[in-house]
Structures are given as C-alpha cells and as structure tokens.
Amino acid sequence: MPKGGALMKPWLRYAICILLGAVGGCGYAISQVRGDYTAKQISNGPWNANTIQGTEKATALIRAKVALHGIMALPAKEAMYYIAKTDSDGAPLNGKCTYTVRGGPLDARWWSVTLYYGEGWLVKNEANRWSVPGNKPVRDSDGNWSFTVSPKIANGVWLPTGGIDGFDLTLRLYHAKGNLLTDPANATLPTIKKESCA
C-alpha cells in the first residue's frame, strides 16, 4: 500500500477541480463580456447596432457588455447607437488613413459621431476634438453633409484619429423615428469612404 502522500487525497482532488472550474469559468465569462459589443445584432452597411439594449429583453450578457463598452448608455427609446469598425467597403478603419463620412437628413432629434479605440477610449489629439455634433457639418440644398476623419488637419469639419492603428465610430441618434426605429437594418445611414492612407 502506498505510503502517505503517494496518492492525492480526495479532498485535494476536489479542491483542484473546483479551482480549475472557477478559473475556466471566469476566463470564459470575461471573454464573452469583452467580445464584440454588437454581435448577433443588426447590420446596415458598415454600421452595426444592438437593438435590445436598454429594454426588458436585454440579457445579463448584453447588460454586462453595456456596462463595459457603453458607459452611461441610454435606454433604447431614448437613443440608438450604431457602431462602425470598417469603412463602407468592409476594410477595418485605420487611424493612418483619411475617410469621408457622408450622409443626408437623419430622422432623429439630434445625432453625433464619436471616434473611439479599444474598449471605448477617446483618442488623445492636439485639437482636443473627439466628436462631430449633428449641427456642425454644412448642408447642401438637399440636406446632405460630410466631414473628414484623418490623422492630419483637414479643410471643413475634421475629426482627428491621432494616427492610431485602429478605431471605430459611434453614431448616436437621440429620439430616433421612422425606419431608424422600425427597420434599422434598412434605414439610410452615412457612408464611410476611404480616401487615402499615409
């Protein structure tokens, strides 16, 4: 018969199994919460949206994602959030490139576009500018507008990237109406066109 210590005692085996299970479970939970914020939701061109955040249909996982990625996110009836991580051709947004964001009238009381990187961080830049409010771009006679996203200062309305490797844009629509609420996957949203890269 083996002497003491030759075989692992049952309680030690159980403790190791519980510890491994806890570590594995925590790791899986963290990976899920830190995963794509807009996963398995609607897509519209380069934009993606989670349409059930802020509603009673929101799962515990979605609420955890909002807590991590959408600090102080408003309920769905107050605001719609569209996130773009690519341009309109599907290429990842790159802070060393110049883009034109172009759109027309948006059926909402107010809108803005904000540039983020990582898990919702603002980008440090010399202009101290992180967002374009809806009243800033000049409209033509049809209500169409555009602004530039680039690492270097540009003419007109300019949103600086700070030259970082990758970023995303968040389009916030406050008190949205019409297709933005009833059919967000087919509503008319701004395009994001890559112009050049450094």
Q: How confident is the model over 128-168, as pLDDT tens digits?
A: 999 999 999 999 999 999 999 999 999 999 999 999 999 99
Residue-wise pLDDT for 87-144, tens only, equals: 999 999 999 999 999 999 999 999 999 999 987 889 988 889 999 999 999 999 999 9
CB-CB contact of 73 with 123 (8 Å)? no
Instruction: State whether the Cα torsion 63-67-73-74 is positive or negative.
Output: positive
- Which is more confidently placed, 73 or 195? 195
CA–CA distances in Å: residue 10 to residues 19, 46, 98: 14, 55, 63
- Which is more confidently placed, 15 or 155? 155
Q: How far apart are CA 39 and CA 50, in angstroms?
A: 8
Q: What is the pLDDT of residue 8?
A: 72
Q: What is the pLDDT of residue 15?
A: 74
Measured at the CA of 119, the angle between CA 118 and CA 124, to 5 degrees, comes to 55
Q: What is the pLDDT of residue 181?
A: 81
The confidence band for 198, taking pLDDT boundaries of 50, 70 and 90, is confident
The mean pLDDT of the chain is: 82
34: pLDDT strictly greater than 70: no
Predicted structure pTM score: 0.73
